[in-house]
Structure 1
Amino acid sequence: MIGTDDFWALIGASATATGDPEARLAWLTDRLAERPAEDSVDFALRLDEARARADTWRLWGAASLVCAGLCSDDGFHYFQAWLVGLGRDTFERVIADPDALADVPQVRRLAGRSVDDWDDAEWPDWESLDYVADEAYERVTGVAEGLDDAVAAHGRVLSSSPDPADEQWDLDDPAELRHRYPRLAALFPLPAEGGVAVWETARP
């Protein structure tokens, strides 16, 4: 069984094992594949629970500001997984105060640079974390794409896109962004500022 503490311990251990995102995914998959199939299900459920806590308009606005508006539904879904990958301490700080992203080294390295200059590995997304439990479950059971059915047996359906329940607001409103995220606004240009005339709605 993988509880919440075990889940975060695995995420942290993967970062200790290697700093490469792809190598971390392989490490996590290998560790889960050494365990009973139910542990892969538990991992998927714990990731989904963490993602639910990050699924807010408050955080989506901060992510959009960092990414110059390039934060579509998919982009924010992958951002949530990226935030999980930063570890439990950072995750908890940012969930409590999304403006705390301004203190995250991986975010600060992006400040003052055009998104066109970001390497793929620098983008704050980690889409493939969603596939770790699927691959491990298939290795253990030999059943391709069997994880969803196993999750359904727990009466659950894994999230596939954001669905925030808090109050929605205009993520493109520069005054609102500056008010909500003063530290991030000092690092990243607001819409119609810093040469960014119009934000896009999807990453190219």
Structure 2
Amino acid sequence: MNVAEFWKFLERSAEETTDPAQRLDWLAYRLSRVSLDHIADFQLHLEAARRPIDTYAMWGAANQIMDGLCSGDAFWYFQPWLIGQGQRWWQHAAQNPDNLADLPAVRALAGSSPWEWADADWPHWEGLAYVAPRAHDHITGRENSLDEAQDARGHRTYCDPEPTDHPWDSDSLAQIEQRLPRLARLFPRQHNVKP
């Protein structure tokens, strides 16, 4: 599975259903019908897609959308959600995290508090990180079989954010307004913000 096929496969799941759990089921079912190498490729492409968006800049943007509630785990789950929006939106946001303001799924959250969001609307999709391991384990009949396959390829799997840019204070109103002007207008912070 090459990178174009990865994106096509992921985007096809969104054409089938918008429900995150049903998309995962669709992906797991389809992945369980391809070769083990293709399943490993899917996971590698997913992890590679995380790298350009695993930044403090993107973390700050996610934190703004979530009204200051974006912990390390929440940011880790936000990344596959953003990837799940499709290649076009992922690239657009990777260019500048403030571009998240253009995403239809983000705009749909504006004007309401995170406490009002339905579970399916939250900008996180933890399960996408586990769909390939689930399919791989199903085919092999062994737990953690994908980890073994990735190790054999010499791939280091990481499981927490590892931002590569410079940290900034995403709870500072001045820095938010400077770095994320459009998101600041769409999602005025209610909590955990410093003047």
Q: In which range does the TM-score fall when normalised by the shorter chain?
A: over 0.9
CA shift for structure 1 position 157 = 2.0
Q: Which runs of 5+ in 2 are unaligned?
A: none
Aligned residue for 1:127, secondary structure, equals coil
Cα RMSD of the aligned pairs, angstroms, is 1.0
| Separation of aligned partners in 1, 2:180 and 2:191 | 19
CA shift for structure 1 position 139 = 1.8
Aligned to 2:155: 156
Aligned residue for 1:79, secondary structure, equals helix
Is the counterpart of residue 32 in structure 1 residue 31 in structure 2?
A: yes
Aligned residue for 1:178, secondary structure, equals helix
Aligned to 1:189: 188
| Separation of aligned partners in 1, 2:91 and 2:4 | 13
Is the counterpart of residue 20 in structure 1 residue 19 in structure 2?
A: yes
- Letter aligned with residue 198 of structure 1: N
Question: How many residue pairs align between the two structures?
Answer: 193
* 1:103-122 alignment, distance < 5 Å: 103-122=102-121
| Separation of aligned partners in 2, 1:27 and 1:48 | 20
- Letter aligned with residue 26 of structure 1: D
* Preserved contact between residue 68 and residue 191 of structure 2 (Cα < 8 Å): no
* Preserved contact between residue 41 and residue 151 of structure 1 (Cα < 8 Å): yes
Aligned residue for 2:78, secondary structure, equals helix
CA shift for structure 1 position 189 = 1.3
* Preserved contact between residue 41 and residue 150 of structure 1 (Cα < 8 Å): yes
CA shift for structure 1 position 112 = 1.5
| Separation of aligned partners in 2, 1:197 and 1:90 | 28
Aligned to 1:5: 4
Flag the 1:142–1:75 CA change in 2: closer, same or farther, 3 A.
Answer: same
CA deviations on 1:62-114 (whole Å, 9 max, x unpaired) are 10000011111110010000000000000000000111111111111111211
CA shift for structure 1 position 156 = 1.2
* Preserved contact between residue 137 and residue 145 of structure 2 (Cα < 8 Å): yes
CA deviations on 1:148-184 (whole Å, 9 max, x unpaired) are 1111111112221101011111111111111111111
- Letter aligned with residue 123 of structure 1: W
* Preserved contact between residue 171 and residue 192 of structure 2 (Cα < 8 Å): no
Aligned to 1:51: 50
- Letter aligned with residue 166 of structure 2: E
- Letter aligned with residue 186 of structure 1: R
| Separation of aligned partners in 2, 1:62 and 1:71 | 9
- Letter aligned with residue 73 of structure 1: G
Which one is further off, 127-136 or 154-163?
154-163
* Preserved contact between residue 148 and residue 157 of structure 1 (Cα < 8 Å): no
| Separation of aligned partners in 1, 2:91 and 2:105 | 16
| Separation of aligned partners in 2, 1:101 and 1:112 | 15
* Preserved contact between residue 102 and residue 183 of structure 1 (Cα < 8 Å): yes
TM-score (norm 2): 0.96
CA shift for structure 1 position 197 = 4.2
* Preserved contact between residue 137 and residue 147 of structure 1 (Cα < 8 Å): yes
Q: Which runs of 5+ in 1 are unaligned?
A: 191-195, 200-204
Aligned to 1:133: 132
| Separation of aligned partners in 1, 2:185 and 2:191 | 17
Aligned to 2:90: 91
